Each structure stands twice: as structure tokens, then as C-alpha cells.
Structure 1
Amino acid sequence: MNRRVLRKFSLVSLRDLLAASAPTIVLVLAACVVAYVVVDPAPPRRVLLSTGQENGAYEEFGKKYAAILQREDIRVTLERSLGSEQNLQRLVDGQADVAFVQSGSTSEDDAQQRGLVSLGSLFTEPVWLFLRDGAGKGKKGDNSGVQRLTDLKGLRINLGPEGTGVPKLFRQVLAVNGLEAKDLQVSSLENTPATVELLAGRIDGLVFSSAPEAPLIQMLLQTPGIRLFDFRQAEAYTRRLPFLTHVVLPRGIVDLGRDIPAQDFHLIAPTATLVAREDLHPALVDLFVKAAIDIHGGAGWFQQQGQFPSPRYTEIPVAKEAAKYYKDGPPFLQRYLSFWLANLFDRLWVVVVALAALIIPLSKIVPPLYVWRIRSRVYRWYGQLRAVEGELEQVPADAPAAQRDEVRAALLRRLDEIEERVNHISIPLAYADALYGLRSHINFVRQRVQA
């Protein structure tokens, strides 16, 4: 019995406290959900990466990015393209989230106006000019072939489709030699069919700009009857065209046993950059930079260990999240937690801010609301007592005794009913004084009726 009484008359009514707090709790939860979903939304699970031509380095690297991000449940959809120019256009049109772009394809001002940011430069992609043996022999029949770019006059050279960065790049290279594209017999085939044409002898040469990992580059470097043009003036090109760098293809790097190539080749090279739309989710920026370090961070034919990826060598402004990653390494939570779990905790600060902004002011509303709910159970009966007194006062002083007795009896019955119902009110002990005050007032009204 004592336990039931203690449960019924506790210091605090949990039911009333919950009822008074419910609107506040619902409001706080709604604000947290809005802050979590709208203010700082979760990263998308699907990303569109625009790569390059079939059998090109961009396509090969794109597959590696897709494999790494798949481990974090991010699906990377690869879209082939003609090259840098088309990739830039896809980014601007919203048809791609991330793309490979060659340095020199755009300017800093143009990139800012288009809303593009760099996630870092990835690797150098030399300009490969492959020629058939015997192409461009001297007029007197010597076998010197093409020694300088001016010797390309009149030759059939494939520069690739206009959507790639190669035609624009090579025209700039020709221009510093006093040549124009019209001085050559230029074709615009894609890499794979152009290679077929070169091997069949229907063109004299073709130009690639790609990392050495590209399958076509590897094949042509080892194909008899095909030779690589040596840019002996490479250092001068880098002075005239600042977005180019001078790299050297070491002797024997392709095949030491067969001594391929049989000499050092000087090449000019733009830099491949990973470019994204500026609205790419910050968490995905970190994920792409991490993948870039895994893929491009090692030593290669033209780079030292750790030289790439890098925030340098690009004319496109670097995303602030990427710059921070290159400077400080991965975010603290991502060093110890999975990507999604780290992202969850990283985004919870928005919820904390929402809680702090709402709980402090709303906490001043809940206590008065709770007190009002408790006391309202008592105060509402005072209206009934006032009604009883009002009916008592309406009885005329000169009314017959029988009428007064009838009214008195009816009012006493109503007071008994009120008292009976008041006796069943459940109220916390902290507010028992109001209940006992109500009972005394009921007795006071009863005495008036009886008098």
C-alpha cells in the first residue's frame, strides 16, 4: 500500500514533466534533423568522373579511383571523353563532378568564373610525338629525318580531336617555332584509330599528351619502325610556355634488357590536374585527395617519391579542403575511423550548435509550463466553487423556506461531488499545499451554504 501511495504522490510527476517537455523535445529534434540534413548534408554516394579516350592514361587512372572509392561505398561512374576541353565543358555544364584536365587548358580567372577548383596536380603527361622511320627525310635523301619541329612541314600529323587538349597545346608549340597548323597535313583522329593509321603508314606521325602508363604509349615505345621525337630544346620551351616542364625519359627505362629506349629523350610536359566543381562535398574532396596520394604518390618515370600529387603546378585555384589535406594530412577522425563514421561525427557539430541554440532558451519555458499543468488541476475547481456561490447569492432573501431548503440541498450535493472528485486528484507532493487549500475552501463554501 505504501509503495502505491509513493508512486501516486511523488515529488515530481513524470507524466506531466514529459507532457510539458514534449513540444520542446519535438522542436529540438526537428531543428537537429534540419541542421543535419540541410545545413550540412551527407556526401552523395555517386560521383561522375570524366576521364579521357579509350586506352588512355586518364581512363586507366579513372578505374583506379573508382576501385578505391568503392571501398568507402562511393560509386564512381566513369565517362569517357575526348580530353581536357570536353572535360572542362562537362564540369561547367554539370555533367561531371570531377574530371582530369591538362595544365594550360584554362586560366585562373576563367576557372574561378566557371566555379572550378583543383584537387591537386597528379602527374606530368609529356608530349609524345611518334614518327614513322623515314618520315621527313631530307630532300637530298639523307636519313636524318625530323630533327626539329620545323621539319614537320608538309607531313601528315594527327593531333587528335578538338575536344582534347592536345590540338590547342601543340598549336602553341608550333607557334613558338614560327609554324601554323596549316603548314602540316593535320588530322583529328582519336588515339586508337590514329595509332592504327600510323602503323599502316597512312600518316607520318601522331601527337599524344599522356602519362607513360597509357597502353598505347607503352606499345609505341617498343614498336619497331616507330621512333620518338627528341625535344632537344625542351628547356627553351618551358621558358616560352610556363605551364610546361622539362622531363627526361631515361635510357633503358622501358626495357633495360633490350635497352629501350637506346638514348635519353628530352620531352616537354604539361601537368594533369584533378579538377572538380566548387560545390563538390568537402568530405569527397578529402576522399579524392587521399585516393590521389595512394595512386600517384610513388616514384615514376618522370617523378620522385612524394612529388605528386601536389597543390602546385596548376593554374586552377586549389580547393581549401584539398590545400588543408596536403598541408596537415587527413582529418583527425579519418585517421582512426571509417570514412562514413568519421563523416558522421564530423557533422555532429551542427547538431550540437542547434541544441545549444534551442535548449538554453527553451529550458526557461519548460519549468513554468510544468507548474501550470500541475496547478491547473487544482485551480479549475475554483470555478465550480464560484458557480456554487453565485447560485447561493441568487436566492432571494424573502424566498419561502421550502425553496431555500431545496436550493441548499442541491448545492450541498454539488459540493459533495466536487469534494469527491478533488479527493482523487493525483498531484506531486511538492504542490500538495494547493490541494489542501482547495479542500479547505470547499469546506468554507459548504459552511456558507449551510448558514
Structure 2
Amino acid sequence: MSRILKFTRFSVRDLIVTAAPTILLIVAVCAVAYLLVDPAPPRKVSLSIGQENSAYENIGKRYAAAMRKHGIAVTLQPSLGSQENLLRLNRGETDIAFVQSGSTDQAEAERKGLISLGSLFTEPLWLFLREDKDVSQLTQLRGMKINLGPEGSGVPRLFRQVLDVNGVEPAELQIGMLENTPATVELLEGRIDGLVFSSAPDAPLVQMLLQTPGIRLFDFAQAEAYTRRLPFLSHVVLPRGIVDLGRDLPSKDYQLIAPTATLVAREDLHPALIDLFVQAASNIHGGAGWFQQQGQFPSARYTEIPVAPEAAKFYKDGAPFLQRYMNFWLANFLDRMWVLVVAFGALLLPLSRVLPPLYVWRIRSRVYRWYGQLRTVEQALDEAPADARRAVYAEQLERLNEIEEWVNQISIPLSFAEDVYGLRSHINFVRQRILNRMEASAESA
């Protein structure tokens, strides 16, 4: 029974031996292709945000939560603001950062190897003054104590540009450099006259100051003119009653000027992380807000920094195809492994046509090689000298019996049994020829 089972089994060993060179070739090609594709994205990334209680800090936490869902840890790095964030990017001390428009220019960004992942939202320039200060023009700030924040933020540079187009020199003001939280305390205590910072309207500090008695917001009545003089600024309107309709806060429309917050990275950031951060940006900033319509942000517009190709593709076509239907890591793996798939497919198709004939040839070669032995026997019969024919016939008959014994021990799949039985019939045919010749030789003697 064991011999029958062995005879009828599919020859896995022959298949493996036949396919081994092909498999090794495919593995070698795939290994080379794997070395050529991008590495997997890192599971840790750093994001430089802003000051305590700033919009950058709050939004940074939302990005960290979004990335955590995909198994990526985001380290939030507090900073003084946009300028410090830009400095960290240039030094390679952070991977991604929030940067205000107007903080750099296109030539400088390209030279430093920076890319934009898109504009996220407008963050108006807020100038809060004590209510007893009757100021309607920025020229009236001369001599006042105005806090612009530390130099690491983007506000000092921005507000100096605003003062410049008004013909006011910074030296004509008493400029403070406190961070926003202590500067707010100073404003409320009356030790400074005004406080300037740039932030999204949902920042806790903005919400608090808009509702604080004795503090009023400066109205940039010439906002449209500012946008013409400083193109990186936008004109936005704070609508009457937007803070509290019941209390009619604010009691009128306020004209404001606003740079745009941009998500900026180094150009060596992994493309998959760019895709993931842009998708997170779409979820976080895509809704309607005080100064934006549904779907207006994030956007490839409003930034002087070159937009990353992956981000531009997202704004045009949406999320990558695979990431719409499967886990990020699986989609990224398949996206990176397309070279392997192409290499494997290019080899598999032609080799799939070669392997079956090779397998058949290997099995049948066990049978066919014995035909060479039969041919040797027949040649010996034909070449036997007349005086030694009987001895040659007897010798070849013995050789034929040995061949038959070996053939009976051949292990071969059942589908090739016909070849074995054909060989055995041919052995019998040659044997009969030998017996006939032996009989003829005996009669002639």
C-alpha cells in the first residue's frame, strides 16, 4: 500500500527542485527592488507649536491626537512663535512647524529646503488697547507702551511692517517683549497701553479679551489698503455679535488684517507623513469658521513657501486611492511595494509558462534515460562478432534484466505511469529480440 501511495502522490520534491532556481531569482529581484523603494515612514515626529494658551498649542494637540490613531507619536515642542519655529526648521531641530505667512520669502524657503503642507487658517492681527486710549489710527500709538511679544514670535516682524507702511518708526513706541500671558496681566493691570499678537479667533486669550470690560479691539478701517501694500495679508471681518449674540459682543463689525498660518516641513519629511498630516489638516481646518467658508482651508494658496507635491496632489485629487479603503500602514506598504509587485509580476508570468514544462521534463527524464540503456543493448547485439554472439546475447539479456529491475523501482506520479509502462513494454520487446536471436543461433549451430 505504501508503494502504491508513493507511486500515486504528486511529486512535491520534484516541483520544489524544479522551481528552486526560479524562486531564488524572484527573491533576488524583489530584494533589489526593496532596497530601491522608500523606507517605511517613522513612527515619531516632532511638531513645533507656539506659546502657552495659543491657538498653535491647541491645534498642535489636535494633530497629535489625529496622528496617534495611526500609531504615530507626535512630540509637541513649545516655542515663542513663528520665527522660532522657522529657525528650528532651518536648523533641523524639528520636523514640522506652524509658520505665519510673511515670515520668509520663496527664495529663502527654497534655499533652506522648506516645503509647505498648505495654509491652515487666517490668524488676525489683534491689537487690544485699554478703553481709555482713543486710538483710530496707528500713528496715534506714538509714545504708548505696546507689547509685541518676544522676537521668536512672528508678530514683532509683522507689526513693524505694518508700522512702516503708516510711516511710524518702532523707536517712537515703547515696545514690550513679554509673552502673551504675562503681557495680558500687564494690560489688565494698566501697566501697558496695548497688546499685539496674532492668533486664531478660538484661542482662549482672544475669547477672554473680547469679553473683558475696559479692553477694546482696534478696528483696522483701512484693512483693504493693508492687503494691497502687504500681499501676504488678508482682509477679514469680525462680525457684530459673533462672540455673544445675546450681549451683542462685539457691538459692531471690526475690520482686521490677517496673515495665514501655514504648516511647514523640511523637504526630507517622508511623503507618507505629508499625506497623513494633510489629511489631518483637512479634518481639523476644513469646516466653516469666523473668517472662513466650508472647505476654504486647508489650501495650497496664501503661502510664499513652495507647496509639497504630495500636498498639492491631495488638494487637487483628494486622499491617495489606497488610503481611502484600508489602514494607513497597509496602504503605505502596498504603495511603497509597487516596485516589488511589478518585478514579481514581470517574472511570474513568463516563468509560470516555463515551470510546467520543466517539471514534466524532470519527471519524464527518469524514464527517458533508460531508453539510452536500451539503445546500448541493441547496439551491442548488432555489433556482436559471429564467433561470440551467444556470449554477447547472454550478457545483454542479463543487462536487460538489470535494467528492468531498476525501472520497476522508479518512483513517479500516477499521471506519468503511461511512460513507465511504455518503457517496460519496450524492454520486453528488446528481450524478445534477444531470445529470438539466441534461438536462431542455437538452430544454426
Band of TM-score, shorter chain:
0.7 to 0.9
* Distance in 2 separating the partners of 1:179 and 1:356: 69
Residue aligned with 1:22, SS: helix
The answer for the alignment partner of 2:311 in structure 1 is 322
* Distance in 2 separating the partners of 1:98 and 1:127: 23
TM-score (norm 1): 0.79
How far the C-alpha of 1:254 sits from its partner, in A, is 1.7
Cα–Cα, structure 1 residues 332 and 443, in superposed 2: closer, same or farther, change >3 Å? same
* Distance in 2 separating the partners of 1:222 and 1:34: 64
Find 1:424's aligned residue among 390, 409, 433. 409
Find 1:43's aligned residue among 29, 41, 44. 41
The answer for the alignment partner of 1:354 in structure 2 is 343
1:251 aligns with 2:240: yes
**1:409-435 CA distance string (max 9 Å, x none):** 999999987765554232444764996
Cα–Cα, structure 1 residues 42 and 443, in superposed 2: closer, same or farther, change >3 Å? farther
Paired letter, 2:187: L
The answer for the alignment partner of 1:57 in structure 2 is 55
Between 53-62 and 30-39, the greater mean CA deviation after superposition: 30-39
* Distance in 2 separating the partners of 1:441 and 1:91: 89
How far the C-alpha of 1:9 sits from its partner, in A, is 5.7
How far the C-alpha of 1:246 sits from its partner, in A, is 1.1
Paired letter, 1:310: S
Between 431-440 and 120-129, the greater mean CA deviation after superposition: 431-440
Equivalence map 1:387-398=2 (5 Å) = none
The answer for the alignment partner of 1:307 in structure 2 is 296
**1:327-359 CA distance string (max 9 Å, x none):** 333344444444344445545543320212322
Residue aligned with 2:250, SS: coil
* Distance in 2 separating the partners of 1:86 and 1:282: 25
How far the C-alpha of 1:74 sits from its partner, in A, is 2.8
The answer for the alignment partner of 1:66 in structure 2 is 64
Find 1:295's aligned residue among 255, 279, 284. 284
* Distance in 2 separating the partners of 1:226 and 1:421: 108
Find 2:274's aligned residue among 276, 285, 288. 285
Paired letter, 1:87: N
Give the fraction of aligned pairs with identical amino acids, expressed as a percent. 69
How far the C-alpha of 1:269 sits from its partner, in A, is 0.5
**1:283-342 CA distance string (max 9 Å, x none):** 433332232222222222212222222221112222233223223333444444443444
Q: Aligned pair count?
A: 435
The answer for the alignment partner of 2:153 in structure 1 is 164
Find 2:103's aligned residue among 82, 93, 105. 105
1:205 aligns with 2:191: no
Find 2:129's aligned residue among 105, 128, 131. 131
**1:151-179 CA distance string (max 9 Å, x none):** 22232222222222112111211211222
Equivalence map 1:175-190=2 (5 Å) = 175-190=164-179
Find 2:84's aligned residue among 75, 86, 101. 86
Paired letter, 1:216: L
* Distance in 1 separating the partners of 2:423 and 2:153: 87
Cα–Cα, structure 1 residues 117 and 435, in superposed 2: closer, same or farther, change >3 Å? farther
Cα–Cα, structure 1 residues 85 and 372, in superposed 2: closer, same or farther, change >3 Å? farther
* Distance in 2 separating the partners of 1:190 and 1:269: 20
How far the C-alpha of 1:436 sits from its partner, in A, is 5.7
**1:172-227 CA distance string (max 9 Å, x none):** 11211222322222232222222223223333322101111111111222222322
* Distance in 1 separating the partners of 2:128 and 2:362: 88
How far the C-alpha of 1:268 sits from its partner, in A, is 0.8
How far the C-alpha of 1:248 sits from its partner, in A, is 1.5
TM-score (norm 2): 0.80
Q: Is the 8 A contact 2:146 2:196 kept in 1?
A: yes
1:147 aligns with 2:154: no
Cα–Cα, structure 1 residues 16 and 233, in superposed 2: closer, same or farther, change >3 Å? same
* Distance in 2 separating the partners of 1:310 and 1:339: 22
The answer for the alignment partner of 1:222 in structure 2 is 211
* Distance in 2 separating the partners of 1:49 and 1:233: 35
Q: Is the 8 A contact 2:404 2:424 kept in 1?
A: no
**1:9-54 CA distance string (max 9 Å, x none):** 67x7332112221332244246446646861544333332221111
The answer for the alignment partner of 2:75 in structure 1 is 77
Find 1:120's aligned residue among 93, 97, 118. 118
Q: Is the 8 A contact 2:286 2:297 kept in 1?
A: yes
* Distance in 2 separating the partners of 1:8 and 1:171: 93
The answer for the alignment partner of 2:7 in structure 1 is 8
Gaps of 5+ in 2: 375-390
Q: Is the 8 A contact 2:244 2:250 kept in 1?
A: yes
Paired letter, 2:143: G
Paired letter, 1:64: R
Q: Is the 8 A contact 1:375 1:434 kept in 2?
A: no
Paired letter, 1:213: D
* Distance in 1 separating the partners of 2:41 and 2:49: 22
Q: Is the 8 A contact 1:271 1:313 kept in 2?
A: yes
Q: Is the 8 A contact 2:131 2:216 kept in 1?
A: yes
Residue aligned with 2:191, SS: coil
The answer for the alignment partner of 1:339 in structure 2 is 328
Paired letter, 1:350: V
Q: Is the 8 A contact 2:367 2:419 kept in 1?
A: no
